[in-house]
Copies of this chain bind each other. A is one copy, B any other.
Amino acid sequence: MSLKYFFNPASVAVIGASSDKIKIGRQVLDNIIGGGFKGKIFPINLKEKKIAGLKAYPALEALESKEYAALLVVIAIPSQFVLTEIKKCAKLGIKNIIIISAGFKEAGEAGKALELEIAHVANMHHMHILGPNCLGLINTWHKLNATFASSDTATGNTALLSQSGAIGSAALDWLKVKDFNFGYFISLGNKAVLDENQIIEYLASEKKIDLVVAYLEEIKDGEKLMSLISRLVKYKPVAILKAGQSAAGGQLALSHTGSLAGSNAAVETGIKRSGAIWLENLEELFNLLLLFRKESWHNRGPQELSVVTNAGGVAVLTVDEISRQNVPFGCSYDILGDADAKRYEDILKKILADKKVNNLLVLLTPQTSTEPVKTATAIIKAAKKYPNKLIMTSFVGGEAIAEARDMFEKANVPTFDYPEEAVRSFKKLIMYKKTIDTIKTYKKPSVKIKKVITDTDYIKSLAILRDYNIPTVKTMKYENAKAATYKYPVVLKITGPDFLHKSDKNAIVANLKNEKELKEAVRMQEMANKKSLSKSENYFVVQEMASHFQEIILGFKRDASFGPIMMIGLGGIYTEVFKEIKLETSDLDFKRALDIIASLKIYPILNGARGQKKYDIKGLAKALVNLARLANEHPEIQEFDINPLFVFTAGVLAADVRIIV
């Protein structure tokens, strides 16, 4: 069922409304009334007859209007009473509910059980419930502020989602001083029923919204998220700040939200795959909002960033950052320290008439002849004249430029405290524009389970690879009697559950030149590993030696939320040293595999740098695609590593494997 009435209810009831102005329920009621909501408003209170000048009702069933399907119910009463109300809603056919109340999953086991029961009722009756433990919902287009946070913004085109009420309220407060008008504000809370996916799905078709910015602490269904966003970003940017990106932060998030998030690396890989703009912190989030405040961000011409300045030094620092961020740079126009507003006006006229200049950062520091306010007026005028060019400003200083900054905010011209913030935000913008052109919709790979693999035996694991057209080094179970028949030189390995990390266990002996050396090596290993080798699952294998290859590591690890995360990187002794690893979701095709390989630092070597030989990049890409297919078709395999994969000038060979089911 659509969320249409959830976001645009015909009427709103507030359970927990009270004449006590301190009560959260009353604050919500006041905000709904004060926001100018046009529908009917029903305060619900067992004892009181009139609240905030409105008739109060003892219970939902007492409302005169019976249009329950278009009613939004906001619940702000102690948690122990909430379930009863939800059940009542279910009985009455009420579908849209916000539970503001806290005291659920975040409060311990009892709360968690209660929340699960609520979710169960909601799912049985196809009810939409936001929260619990949330700030509520604002829809400025519908003049609905169903939160306990004050907000007096006009309508806007941005939707803000926040899993944290605290960050949500901080954002609302910040947006107010920045004169930033948004369309929707949705505090997700515990996400017992509604989560980011359902909200984003709705916002995709909401024409009033052209930018979605979300703060999330956990993502339960990453594959669904990737599928939704990768479709959406083609016409609306989505930016996500995921808390808990570090191990320590993730640990804290776990204790804070009470829910297990996917692994950090998988989340980052998945969100980047979705095409969403990846944010690292609050500053980036707020700065991105500043950048997107003007519609002109989506101009599609040349993407160089040019700079106008009255301070050479500030321009140099700006170009330093442009360079660090690898942003295409246009030109820097230094109109000198004594530039007045007129000189700014003149240069803007000249530059903006140039079709090649689409993106301009205007810098100013207050000096003797500087006229910050007049200059701001000139810039705002120019921005209006060129609505399709992105004009950003950074006036560096304090008192002298404060009024100019306010003017920019009121006029919707992106303005930043420091030029480097403008540059970094701009970088995100041009990356996003590249995404629009290149993104492919994520489709959850179809799972055709062939046979369920439960055996992690080494020789069988190599056989699985060959089933998926990934060739392997010729590998035989060692037999004393056959030692004379091997093609020397050979490598001797011990495989099995006691030898998952063979190098660490000294369980690899390379370069054995003849039968005698091999047998001697076997004897030495047997002495050293008597106990392990007494178990049949640990045994010797012999592999033919190869040479003239590049060592690559290839593998995947399954994430509960984002599916199999593929890995490719530098193998051999430098793997741990340089951690040259790229991750990607398992929906990759041959072209994408080639792109990933080309993004590796060692690509020049694979590609034959400085007149050296070229390695079989296509063969490597095929191996990666085939391994992804294996990952998709065997959901029972949790991890699979090929390390090393030998890449030759022609062909590849898996030389060692490790599988975890």
A interface with B by C-beta (< 8 Å): 24, 27, 148-149, 163-167, 169-170, 173-178, 215, 217, 241, 243-249, 252-253, 256-257, 280-283, 286, 310-317, 319-324, 329, 332, 334, 337, 365-368, 396-402, 417-421, 503-504, 506, 573-574, 576-578, 580, 601-602, 604-605, 609-612
Q: A148-B368, A174-B397, A256-B334 are in contact. Are A313 and B246 (CB under 8 A)?
A: no
Structural contact, B320 and A243, CB atoms closer than 8 A: yes
Residues of B within 8 A of A317 (CB): 241, 243, 249, 281-282
A247 to B320, CA, bound (A): 8
Q: Closest B-chain residue to A602, C-beta based?
A: B577
Residues of B within 8 A of A580 (CB): 578
Structural contact, B164 and A313, CB atoms closer than 8 A: yes
Structural contact, B504 and A611, CB atoms closer than 8 A: yes
Structural contact, B164 and A281, CB atoms closer than 8 A: no
Q: A396-B282, A398-B177, A577-B601 are in contact. Are A167 and B313 (CB under 8 A)?
A: yes
A256 to B248, CA, bound (A): 45
Structural contact, B611 and A313, CB atoms closer than 8 A: no
Apart from A164-B314, A176-B399, A256-B312, what are 17 other A-B pairs with CB-CB below 8 Å?
A164-B311, A166-B313, A170-B314, A173-B401, A174-B398, A177-B399, A178-B398, A246-B319, A248-B323, A256-B313, A282-B420, A283-B417, A283-B421, A576-B604, A577-B604, A577-B609, A578-B578
| Nearest Cβ on chain B to A408's Cβ, whole angstroms | 16
A298 to B366, CA, bound (A): 33
Q: A170-B397, A244-B320, A368-B27 are in contact. Are A252 and B282 (CB under 8 A)?
A: no
Structural contact, A366 and B248, CB atoms closer than 8 A: no
A252 to B314, CA, bound (A): 11
A280 to B318, CA, bound (A): 11
Structural contact, B246 and A324, CB atoms closer than 8 A: yes
A247 to B417, CA, bound (A): 25
Structural contact, A247 and B398, CB atoms closer than 8 A: no
A-B contact pairs, 9 of them (CB 8 A): A164-B312, A173-B401, A215-B313, A247-B323, A282-B317, A282-B419, A283-B417, A504-B610, A577-B602
Structural contact, B253 and A170, CB atoms closer than 8 A: no
Contact pick for A366, options B173, B175, B503, CB 8 Å: B173
Residues of B within 8 A of A310 (CB): 166
A106 to B441, CA, bound (A): 55
Residues of B within 8 A of A315 (CB): 252, 256
Residues of B within 8 A of A243 (CB): 313, 316-317, 320
Q: Closest B-chain residue to A175, C-beta based?
A: B398
A1 to B302, CA, bound (A): 57
Copies in the complex: 2
Question: Which of A178, A257, A311, A604 has the most chain B CB within a 10 Å cutoff?
Answer: A311
Q: A177-B399, A320-B246, A611-B506 are in contact. Are A170 and B366 (CB under 8 A)?
A: yes
Contact pick for A320, options B167, B249, B319, B323, CB 8 Å: B249
Residues of B within 8 A of A27 (CB): 368
Q: Closest B-chain residue to A506, C-beta based?
A: B611
Structural contact, A312 and B246, CB atoms closer than 8 A: no
| Nearest Cβ on chain B to A355's Cβ, whole angstroms | 23
Residues of B within 8 A of A252 (CB): 312, 315-316, 319, 332
Structural contact, A167 and B24, CB atoms closer than 8 A: no
Structural contact, A337 and B398, CB atoms closer than 8 A: no
A58 to B282, CA, bound (A): 60
Q: Closest B-chain residue to A309, C-beta based?
A: B166
Residues of B within 8 A of A418 (CB): 281-283, 286
Q: Closest B-chain residue to A337, C-beta based?
A: B166
| Nearest Cβ on chain B to A392's Cβ, whole angstroms | 16
A612 to B506, CA, bound (A): 10
Q: A170-B396, A314-B170 are in contact. Are A320 and B281 (CB under 8 A)?
A: yes
Q: Closest B-chain residue to A423, C-beta based?
A: B281
A574 to B252, CA, bound (A): 39
A149 to B399, CA, bound (A): 13
| Nearest Cβ on chain B to A187's Cβ, whole angstroms | 11
Residues of B within 8 A of A401 (CB): 173
A167 to B312, CA, bound (A): 9
Residues of B within 8 A of A316 (CB): 217, 243-244, 249, 252-253, 256
Q: Closest B-chain residue to A180, C-beta based?
A: B398
Residues of B within 8 A of A506 (CB): 611
Structural contact, B249 and A282, CB atoms closer than 8 A: no
| Nearest Cβ on chain B to A566's Cβ, whole angstroms | 22
Contact pick for A319, options B248, B329, B334, B602, CB 8 Å: B248
Residues of B within 8 A of A24 (CB): 368
A388 to B493, CA, bound (A): 60
A549 to B365, CA, bound (A): 56
Q: Closest B-chain residue to A419, C-beta based?
A: B282
Q: A24-B368, A166-B313, A311-B167 are in contact. Are A398 and B173 (CB under 8 A)?
A: yes
What 3 A-B pairs come out closest when comparing CB atoms? Answer: A166-B311, A246-B323, A164-B313
A504 to B609, CA, bound (A): 10
